[in-house]
Structure 1
Amino acid sequence: MKILLSGGGTGGHIYPALALIRRLQALDPSVEILYIGTEKGLESRIVRNAGIAFESVEIQGFKRSLSISNVKTIQLFIKSIQKSKKIVKAFQPDVVIGTGGYVCAPVVYAASKLGIPTIIHEQNSVAGVTNKFLARYVTKIAVCFEEARAEFGKYAEKVVYTGNPRAQEVVGIKPSAILEEYQLEAIRPTVLIFGGSRGARSLNEAFLEALPILATKDYQLLFATGEIHYEKIKEQVQTHLAKTHSIAVVPYIENMPEVFANVELVVSRSGATTLAELTALGLPSILIPSPYVTNDHQTRNAESLTKRGAAKMIAEKELNGVSLTQAIDELMLHEDVREAMAAEAKKLGLPKAADHLIQIMQEITH
């Protein structure tokens, strides 16, 4: 079987594609995979480093205001469709899957015009511009939140609720002594706090404000600042860290899924991939949506959990040291509340998301 995937711009579009690829390869080592992205996007490095065949097209997004650059965008889109058709014809895939980002538009559009079965995968509860554009052309639309179904209007009959393939990768991870690598105790109740690979300034500031109180708690904390903030924050917390062995501050966590499997509570943004992992594992969480994303989709993502009692949310404008500490204490000092939230999160998890998506692929190619 030959499968062509496309997705780029952010890790939230790339990592679900990689998770799907790894599952496909595990089920059938003979499967042939080709990935189309852009040279400027994260995907060019991440996908190549994963040893996956990679081709590129040049594309950029439209400006929301009137701009001369939109003329260039249209020109690039037309050229990228032409190049995508050449790549698709040469590779002859059985199915083409787009996981989001501008690069998917010419690739999936070209494949659909060539009569090849196509799927778009929408990770968020609010559909992206590219996926809304592609909805009319594709064979199936896979979503991770039921709330996203309505986003596709008259094409909603194409929607299939599959979940995020990334979730299937984390469910098999067992508890370990990974926390000892951060000079924390492996068996002590632990809170993980992070704001993404680049960090979140508001979360970092709230943590610094709360640190004198958090340092006195019976539970321990692992805090990832984001690489660009690390040195500055490290200077500010050294005095407190010298007095306690219950808090570890690091710039970034490479093996996040394994850390997830060894903590009791997560405090984070509400990106789609993170929520897929949290619900797959049944992890309680305090979510602080980024207000700086398109259509405020992180708030909608978080609300899909909070309205079911599967997470707690703090709006960024309400985030400070006091609100952060109170929210953490509410869960870490009351095991019954934490367990109830974990059970609700687990109900929302889709641990076979990759297999479900593969099943859809098989159905539309036969």
Structure 2
Amino acid sequence: MNAKKKVIFSAGGTGGHVYPALAIAKNLILENYDVLWIGTTRGLEKKIIEAESINIKYINFQGIRNKGFITILKSPFLLLRACYQVYKIYKFYKPDLTICFGGYVTVPCGLISFLKKIPLFIHEQNSVLGLSNKILSLFSQKTLMGYRKPGSKYLYSGNPMRESINRISKKEKNFKNNLNILVLGGSLGAKVFNERIPFAAKQLIEKYKIKNLEIVHQAGKTHGIAQDNYKKLNINCNVKEYIDNIQKYYEWCDIVICRSGAISLAELMTVGIPSISIPYKYATDNHQYHNAKLLSDAGALVLMDENLFDGYSLAEKYIKS
């Protein structure tokens, strides 16, 4: 009897890295692969992967972007410590393959995989390589891309979707006097959405006479700001810190207002929901803008600049879309 092939997955930080990796991991488990996940307790992988009952090991590591000077000075030592922790996991587990999907936790995993001559594949969800994947692309056999990119080392694969997303039937938009809006600030929330979108909702009701407006707003850790603003404006809204069963709300909504993370956009394209996308202007290498611009140029979504985004302009953009 042949032994199971062993695969280490690493992805962390945000749902945009974790969910596509999870989609592939679950398929490999169904194909009788032995899967181990390496992550940190800081990221969403702890909550998501533990809920899926997938074997996960944690290492101590953190990113250095937008961190203080002391953290940057300590970064070589933090990386060495993380690599040693990963080395011990690899020595015990003896994987046949490593697949990394982005996030700082993947760097020590990819480096140890390379040093131990274990095949390494990486997947980039965005149109622009993130810092971790830029580093690991120097050592990987192939770089799988969610968007098309020229180069012999890049292989276009698209972005893997959770099965629950693939099962959603495409929606047709309701009449304008009945409107269900889903607001997604990314897996960590968007403070600017929490501050401004309630005022856009007020405009839709008062200026554009939307009679039956319902809103579900995924607001992240600053959800209290959104709740207070909706309450001040006397607008009913279901404010959530995080949405686990996103498919339920995709089926419910008529339009989505969202950031421009690769996985959120890929899900909306899969389901066929009209969307207004507002890229996070501080995203690494402006990758969210490039994600949304490609789809906007194809007529697949409406793109808004965060600097020009307020309650009035958002309401007007919806009416014209």
Which range, TM-score by smaller chain? 0.7 to 0.9
Residue pairs, 1:8-27, within 5 angstroms: 8-25=12-29, 27=30
Deviation, 1:62, is: 3.7
Structure 1 window deviating more from structure 2 (54-63 vs 294-303): it is 54-63
Does 2:11 match 1:7? Answer: yes
Note the 1:178-327 alignment, pairs <5 A: 189-215=179-205, 216-218=209-211, 220-224=213-217, 226-238=219-231, 241=234, 248-252=237-241, 253-327=243-317
Which of the residues 139, 160, 164 maps onto 2:155?
160
Q: Which residue pairs with 1:83 in the alignment?
A: 85
Give the deviation of 1:106 after TM superposition: 1.3
Whether the aligned pair in 2 keeps the contact of 1:123 and 1:144 (CA below 8 Å) is yes
Cα deviation for residue 118 of structure 1 reads: 1.2
Which residue of structure 2 lines up, in the alignment, with residue 364 of structure 1?
Answer: none
1:264 to 1:236, Cα distance in 2 relative to 1, 3 A: closer
Contact 1:7–1:101 (CA under 8 A) maintained in structure 2? yes
Partners of 2:66 and 2:42 in 1: CA distance: 21
Cα shift at 1:18: 1.5
**What TM-score results when the alignment is normalised by the length of structure 1?**
0.76
The verdict on how the C-alpha distance between 1:193 and 1:66 changes in structure 2, with shifts beyond 3 A counting, is closer
4+ long deviations beyond 6 Å: none
Any residues of structure 2 matched to 1:41-52 within 5 Å, and which? 41-52=43-54
Q: 1:211 to 1:275 in 2, by over 3 A?
A: closer
Relative to its length, the structure with more helix (as a share) is: 1
Question: Is the Cα–Cα contact under 8 Å of residues 191 and 219 in structure 1 kept in the other structure?
Answer: no
TM-score, normalisation: structure 2: 0.85
Matched pairs, number: 309
- What percent identity do the matched residue pairs reach? 33
| Structure 2: gaps of 5 or more residues | 172-177
- 1:279 is paired with a residue whose SS is helix
What letter is aligned with 1:115?
K
Task: Specify the SS of the correspondent of 1:192.
Answer: strand
The answer to whether the Cα contact below 8 Å between 1:190 and 1:265 also exists between their aligned partners in 2 is: yes
Q: CA–CA distance in 1 between the matches of 2:85 and 2:233? A: 56
CA contact (8 A) 2:12 2:43 kept: yes
Instruction: Identify the residue that residue 183 of structure 1 maps to in structure 2.
Output: none
> Contact conserved, 1:59 with 1:103, CA < 8 A, in 2?
yes
Provide Cα deviations, 1:253-308, integer angstroms capped at 9, x if missing partner. 33212311333321111111101101111222110111122222111111111111
Match of 1:130 among 126, 129, 132: 132
SS in 1 for 2:138: coil
